[in-house]
Structure formats: C-alpha cells, structure tokens
Amino acid sequence: MQKKSIELKSSNFTLLVLYLNNQNIDLINESLYKKTQECPKFFKNAPIIINVSRLCSTVDWKKIQDTISSHGFFVVGVSGCQDNILKKNIIDSGLPILSERKKKKYNFVTNLCINPIKNEKKAINNKVEKTHIIDIPVRSGQKIYAKHADLIVVNNVSAGAELVADGNIHIYGIVRGRVLAGANGDSSRKIFCTGLFAELVSISGEYWLSDQIPSEFFGKSAQIYLKNKFLTINSLS
C-alpha cells in the first residue's frame, strides 16, 4: 500500500509563553535582556508564543515583535488577543492568532512574565487517571507527555529530551533533559529523581534552569515541589 505523501495530525508541544503585561517597549526590552542572560543557550532560537491579552490597539506591534526577536526568540504565534485592530496588525505581520479553549491545541508549561500582575487562579481538579511507565532510555530530542497522569521513567534521560506530565514525575536514573510536572497547572505535583542533572525543572509553570538548581543537589537524589508558590528542593536520601 502506497504511503500518503503528507499527513496532518494533532500533537502536543511544550512552548514558552511570553506574557506582556504592559506596553512600555523599553521595559520589555530591559526585562527580556535580563531574562535571556540567565541562560543564553537555553533561550537562543527558542520558539515562543506571545500573550497580548493586556495590550490594546495603540501599541506599536512591529516594534514589540522586533524587540522580542532581537533577543533570539523565534515567535511562532500570538494568543489572548481581544482587540480587532491589534489582531489585524498581528496577522498583517505574518503571525497566526491562536485561540485558547478548554481543550487547548498546544500545551503551555513554562511562562515568561514581563511586569507580572497578580491574577486569581481557579482551583484545578483534574483527576489523575493512570500512570505512564517508561523503562527504556529517553534519548535526546524525544518528548514524552503523560496527559492527566503521573509519569515514571525507570532509566536515564538524555540532555535534549523532555518529560512532561499533568501529574507527578518520577525518574529512577540520571536525568539531564527537561522535566515539567503539573503541566495542566496543578501546583500540588512533584518531581522525584535519583540523579539530578536537569537542564530545566518546572512545576505548574514555575521553573529553574540548570544554573538555578542549588549546587548541593546536583547529581543527587531529590524531590522538587512548590511551597508558597516558590520552587523548593529536598534530598530523598
């Protein structure tokens, strides 16, 4: 049977989301510079979604887009746009407008906020339905997503690999890639690992890059969780 020349399928991706909470381009530029200096290699050419829900039609969209791109980000789309004039300007710039519904077509797990404004968060009661178990090595470039479930990896995770779960993540091996638990926003989830060398760890969108992980836990057994909305790490031994 001849294989089709093309196929269109839905999928899950983990993308950075840049929330713009004011229209001051100088402040956006300064904040992005500080953020990218934390880990230049991680943010270089990183695909990103821009959330513009707090911007209005008077904003100079071209300048904002150019400012964000100048810091090495690759803008793939815009979300949260409610203003028709701004929406037209964004589309004219060649970017798609992404609609966020109850069932999202893309999975946001890591947020970058410029001048964040506190929002009330609704309690998330997504029930964990089952547990995904992976017993083979997770290679560089592989992405594993456990939807509404815990994820257990009984092997090593290479640099450049990505583990994502709406529930908890357990890694019984060395982890060098990215680990993102509570991807649906559940701040009660945790990460457990026996050899912590991760490039990034995240719980419900709050994250540490490798150089932010306390050095005394590097290479050790650890659990990572949120306490009072801040990432916390403890030894498992």
pLDDT surpasses 80 at 42: no
Percentage of the chain beyond pLDDT 90 is: 57
- 86 compared with 12, residue with greater pLDDT: 86
pLDDT surpasses 50 at 26: yes
Q: Tell me, what's the pLDDT at 111?
A: 45
Please report which confidence band the pLDDT of residue 121 belongs to, taking 50, 70 and 90 as the band edges.
very low
The predicted model gives 4-29 an average pLDDT of 82
Mean pLDDT of the chain: 84
Instruction: Quick: pLDDT tens for 169-220.
Output: 999 999 999 999 998 889 999 999 999 999 999 999 888 988 889 999 999 9
Q: CA angle, 13 as apex, 9 and 14 as ends, to 5°?
A: 175
> What's the pTM value of the predicted model, to 2 decimals?
0.59
pLDDT surpasses 90 at 231: yes
Please report which confidence band the pLDDT of residue 45 belongs to, taking 50, 70 and 90 as the band edges.
confident
Hey, what domains does the chain have and what are their CATH numbers? 14-114 (3.30.70.260), 130-235 (2.160.20.70)
Q: What strand order describes the sheet that includes 143-146?
A: 143-146, 162-165, 178-181, 200-203, 206-209
Instruction: Quick: pLDDT tens for 130-179.
Output: 799 999 999 988 889 898 999 999 999 999 899 999 999 999 999 999 99
Quick one: three-class SS letters along the chain? CCCCCCCCCCCCCEEEEEEECCCCHHHHHHHHHHHHHHCHHHHCCCEEEEECCCCCCCCCHHHHHHHHHHCCCEEEEEECCCCHHHHHHHHHCCCCEECCCCCCCCEEEEEEEECCCCCCCCCCCCCCCEEEEECCCECCCCEEEECCEEEEECCCECCCCEEEECCCEEEEEEECCEEEECCCCCCCCCEEEEEECCCEEEECCEEEEHHHCCHHHCCCCEEEEEECCEEEEEECC
pLDDT surpasses 70 at 224: yes
Four-residue CA torsion sign, 35, 39, 45, 51: negative
The predicted model gives 91-97 an average pLDDT of 94
CA–CA dist 175, 161 (Å, integer) = 9
